């Protein structure tokens, strides 16, 4: 989708565009047999995604670091949507211990899992290392979701087999993947504070989200498993994700308000890729404004995707 489509909201081939809302793109969808996990579902796009999935009948598990905020979101959804099925669970994506604990607790519940939305993240934060000693953008935005996905894949495989419903994995990336470091993924200097640039680090993590989707899709197809994996760019939305750059973003929004979306519009591409029947069997793609889009060339590099997978496995083993 080009700049004109973004500004005007003109629909693309899918019938939807930048002005479409999450409710509009899922209208008529029956998700009553779907169990979904939404990471970062306690605020912003994640909260709206959780609400709309629940509205369509899905059993939604909000995975969040802030359980108080998650409880507030659950309370509002249950109050506004009669019969909504929403649960909350503790998850800190920057901690591998927390990810493993979450996956173990979820597996112990013996629930099915049809849909995994890897939504949580940090943006343009100062240099810092996670509890595991990994640069914070990479640890939270990519590595935590990489590990979570791997730990939940067996449950998704079994669910897809038993329910005969296609499983879907949605990774929230960003157009910011084009702003990754010039050397793409800094495999040999990931934690180098002297070379750290917040935009490059954030872009690197968003590039990793797309590469993860590509390689995961390839592996799932090779297995013959009925699960797809795609990446999405939600658009420019003022959410708590921008807490480290709030003043800068307000300044930019003042001069480019026509490019920005509200939260419901921001959640639309996620919900479209997660639920729309027209995307059955579509995998390894990148979507923006509810339509397939073309990421930059690094994001389509198969060798880079394989190297990232192997690198990520070593860090999470």
Q: Are 38 and 63 in contact (CB under 8 A)?
A: yes
Confidence of residue 117 (pLDDT cuts 50, 70, 90): very high
Size of the chain, expressed as the number of residues it contains: 317
With CA atoms as reference, report the closest residue to 139 among 204, 233, 199.
Answer: 204
The topology under which CATH files domain 32-316 is: Rossmann fold (3.40.50)
| Sequence spans of domains, the chain | 32-316
* Cα–Cα distance for residue pair 73/41, rounded to 1 Å: 8
Token code pair at residue 267: 């959640």
CB 96 within 8 A of CB 144: yes
- The pLDDT tens digits of the residues spanning 189-203 come to 999 999 999 999 999
Q: Could you give the CA distance from residue 157 to residue 145 in angstroms, rounded to a whole number?
A: 17
User: Of the listed 181, 196, 244, 272, which one is catalytic?
Assistant: 196
> Is 272 marked active-site?
no
Mean pLDDT of 129-152: 98
What confidence score (pLDDT) does residue 9 get?
A: 58
User: Hey, how many other C-beta atoms are within 10 angstroms of the C-beta on 45?
Assistant: 32
55-102 pLDDT tens trace: 999 999 999 999 999 999 999 999 999 999 999 999 999 999 999 999
Phi, psi (rounded to 5 degrees) for 275: -120, -25
How many Å apart are CA 159 and CA 161, to the nearest integer? 5
At residue 56, φ and ψ (nearest 5 deg) are -85, 5
* pTM across the whole model: 0.91
**Tell me, what DSSP letter sits at residue 15?**
S
């Amino acid at each position: 989708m080009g700049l004109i489509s973004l500004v005007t909201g003109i629909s693309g081939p899918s019938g939807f565009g930048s002005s479409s809302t999450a409710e509009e793109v899922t209208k008529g969808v029956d998700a009553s047999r779907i169990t979904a996990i939404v990471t970062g579902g306690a605020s912003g796009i994640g909260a709206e995604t959780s609400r709309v999935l629940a509205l369509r009948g899905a059993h939604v598990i909000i995975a969040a670091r802030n359980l108080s905020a998650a409880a507030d979101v659950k309370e509002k959804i249950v109050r506004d949507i009669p019969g909504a099925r929403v649960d909350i669970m503790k998850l800190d994506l920057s901690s591998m211990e927390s990810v493993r604990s979450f996956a173990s607790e979820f597996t112990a519940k013996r629930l099915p899992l049809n849909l995994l939305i890897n939504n949580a993240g940090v943006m343009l934060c100062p240099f810092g290392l996670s509890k595991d000693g990994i640069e914070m953008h990479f640890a939270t935005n990519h590595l935590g979701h990489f590990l979570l996905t791997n730990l939940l894949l067996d449950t998704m495989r079994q669910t897809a087999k038993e329910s005969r419903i296609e499983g879907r994995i949605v990774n929230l990336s960003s157009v910011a993947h084009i702003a990754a470091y010039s050397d793409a993924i800094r495999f040999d200097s990931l934690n180098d504070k002297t070379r750290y640039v917040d935009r490059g680090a954030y872009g690197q993590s968003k590039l990793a989200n797309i590469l993860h989707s590509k390689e995961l899709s390839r592996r799932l197809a090779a297995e013959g498993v009925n699960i797809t994996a795609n990446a999405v760019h939600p658009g420019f939305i003022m959410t708590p994700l921008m807490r480290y750059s709030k003043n800068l973003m307000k300044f930019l929004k003042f001069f480019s308000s026509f490019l920005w979306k509200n939260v419901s519009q921001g959640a639309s591409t996620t919900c479209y890729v997660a639920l729309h029947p027209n995307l059955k069997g579509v995998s390894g793609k990148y979507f923006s404004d509810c339509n397939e889009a073309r990421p930059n060339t690094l994001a389509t590099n198969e060798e880079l995707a394989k190297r990232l997978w192997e690198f990520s496995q070593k860090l999470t083993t």
